Structure 1
Amino acid sequence: MFGFGRRNEFPVEGRTVLITGGSDGMGRAVALQLAGKGAHVVVVARTLSKLQSTVEEMKAKALNSKKQRFFYISADLTFANECDRVVDEVTAWNEGSAPDIVWCCAGFCHPGFFTEVPISVQKQQMDTVYWTAANMAHATLRNWLAPITPSAQMMNPRRHLIFTCSILAFTPIAGYAPYSPAKAAIRSLSDTLSQEIEMYNGAYTQRHRNSAPAADIKIHTVFPMGILSPGFDNEQKLKPELTKKLEEADKPQTPEEVARIAISALERGEYLITTMFLGHVMKASALGPSPRNAIIGDTLLSWLSNLVFLQVIPDLRNKAFNWGKTNGLPVNPGP
């Protein structure tokens, strides 16, 4: 009841982890912490110098530097064929075995008011936020779910596909119109896959009779709030002043803190993972049909948070209205 003797639902020692966006920010912090827990880690990003630096840091943080292996791949994950290449390269490097865990951390935020941000930039946000995750999930699951004949089947540890989303998928904030829809799409994809994957998991339990995947699979999604990183610094330069006012309650966390909290939640077996109390409340207000981590606790918090948001949403709208009354139109209101 108090967590004593609880089984670790996310063991990583000796397992191979693929992390996209793994050379910076949260992705890099996840890579270093999983290296410290004994995982073999492959990091994927675009910039070679950052990838090489991250690999050297993982070697220094490794639980067992003589046994653990680390690798990096430079790729543009907005292209689906690049994701296929990454999975193939990791499988070849891993002596013919697919990665056991894939954690999608790639992406960046370009804030701004909807009419002020060019559509080309908004499409770029969808590509770098949603499609990098969807492309990697597609390449990963096609590999993991390839049927294996009964004669080749054996018991394998559970595999994990992890998305990195944002609390904005639950509670939109004015000034994030280019970014929030892409994160909401990831949340919807995660919920859909969490249902679809059970069909394959069901087939896996009957592996003695039918062709089935090589392992049971679980989907997870992490919903951080602000993360202190070079990307966050760039985001602050673009962010409208109204947006900064509306999110005053958001106290950004370090990448290391977010990674530590997320990994602990994965070890408890959680599905939708938030990293601070305000995030828990925002998630609870928008759970809808999503699977719960704890039926009683999540349900009670959902009731409470829906009462809280009866006041929060009108307050956000009133602040935006009053901002317009005081300051007029944005500097660049667009056409």
Structure 2
Amino acid sequence: MLGLGSRNEFNVEWQTVVITGGSDGMGKAVALQLSAKGANVVVVARTVSKLVTAVEEMKAKAANKFKQRFHYISADLTDPVECERVIAEVTTWNSGAVPDVVWCCAGFSRPGFFIDVPIQEHRQQMDTVYWTAANTAHATLRSWLEPVHPSAQMKTSRRHLIFTCSTLAFVPIAGYSPYSPAKAAIRSLSDTLNQEIEMYNGAYQRHRGAAPAADVKIHTVFPMGILSPGFDNEEKTKPELTKKLEEADKPQTPSEVAKVSISALERGEYLITTNFIGSLMKGTALGASPRNGIVGDTLLSCLSHLVFLQVIPELRSKTFTWGKKNGLPSANGTPAS
């Protein structure tokens, strides 16, 4: 409980890590910090110029500048074929070995009230938030879980698939209707895979017959606001009511979020939050999700439910009062004149 003598459950030294959305924001911060821990890192995004910059910065941060390797791939991860290409290219670059860690950070938020945002943009949010993660996970797990005959099996380190979600998957806020459902879908996918993967892990441990080459662990990170170029763009369309409702959210820097997340992974946590308010939000919605710790998460859940007995009615009341005072919003979410 005090962390004395605990084992590092996420040792990335000399491991090959793929980070989608790795050219900016949280994804780039994760890439830099894992390079400083000795990982070989591949960043994936669309914009080549940003990817080139990220690779140069990773080289400067590397724990061993002469032995670590870095690479970038430009890809549109809303296309599942592109995700298959990314995993294949990384495997070739990695001397025929599949990556050890895949961390899904791609996506963006376009806030707005449900009926004010064109339905095509709702679909785009689902594509760029949920489907980039689901496509990447599908391509990754197909490569990791391919059966290997016992005669060809070699001892391989545990592999990690990490999703990046949002505390909006626990507690939705008015004005995020294009975005929060996609994050909730990622959380549900993560819980399902967390259970499903045990079938493959059981086959791996059995040591008889064909089985995957390594066991796999699933994780999901739930940040709140992150101070990044994406956050700046988000503010441009965010309704004034939404800003009022999330006043308690004090955005963190990408480096802070990455550091807290990596530390939690090293402790072996499954559902990871990056500050105390986020943990309270998680506590309200643990449901059937696996716990990081039975005692700690049970106490957290009890405290969260007591706190949110007041918070949820307050959010609804503030929203009602806002409408009563300001009337219907204009197209950009501000009160109509």
User: TM-score w.r.t. structure 1 length?
Assistant: 0.99
Partner of 1:119: 119
The separation in 2 between residues aligned to 1:268 and 1:78, in whole angstroms, is 32
Correspondence 1:296-311 to 2 at 5 A: 296-311=295-310
Secondary structure in 2 matching 1:291: coil
Correspondence 1:57-76 to 2 at 5 A: 57-76=57-76
> Are 2:239 and 2:332, in contact at CA under 8 Å, matched by a contact in 1?
no
Structure 1 residue identity aligned to 2:288:
P
Structure 2 residue identity aligned to 1:169:
A
Are 1:225 and 2:204 counterparts? Answer: no
> Are 1:110 and 1:238, in contact at CA under 8 Å, matched by a contact in 2?
yes
Percent identity, aligned pairs only, is: 76
The separation in 2 between residues aligned to 1:243 and 1:192, in whole angstroms, is 31
The separation in 1 between residues aligned to 2:84 and 2:202, in whole angstroms, is 26
Superposition misfits of 4+ residues, deviation over 4 angstroms: none
Secondary structure in 2 matching 1:261: helix
> Are 1:221 and 1:273, in contact at CA under 8 Å, matched by a contact in 2?
yes
Q: Deviations over 1:68-107 (max 9, x none)?
A: 0000000000000000000000000000000000000000
**Residues 22, 333 of structure 1: alpha-carbon distance in 2 compared, 3 angstrom cutoff:** closer
Partner of 2:284: 285
The separation in 2 between residues aligned to 1:110 and 1:234, in whole angstroms, is 8
Are 1:181 and 2:181 counterparts? Answer: yes
Shift, 1:333, TM fit: 9.3
Partner of 1:27: 27
Gaps in structure 1 of 5+ consecutive residues: none
The separation in 2 between residues aligned to 1:200 and 1:90, in whole angstroms, is 23
Structure 1 residue identity aligned to 2:20:
T
Structure 2 residue identity aligned to 1:174:
A
Are 1:331 and 2:333 counterparts? Answer: no
Partner of 1:252: 251
Correspondence 1:1-335 to 2 at 5 A: 1-207=1-207, 209-332=208-331
Gaps in structure 2 of 5+ consecutive residues: none
The separation in 2 between residues aligned to 1:166 and 1:267, in whole angstroms, is 20
Shift, 1:178, TM fit: 0.1
Q: Deviations over 1:8-46 (max 9, x none)?
A: 000000000000000000000000000000000000000
Secondary structure in 2 matching 1:309: helix
Query: Over the residues paired in the alignment, what is the CA RMSD in angstroms?
Result: 0.9
**Total equivalences in the alignment:** 333
> Are 1:40 and 1:68, in contact at CA under 8 Å, matched by a contact in 2?
yes
The separation in 2 between residues aligned to 1:231 and 1:304, in whole angstroms, is 32
User: TM-score w.r.t. structure 2 length?
Assistant: 0.98
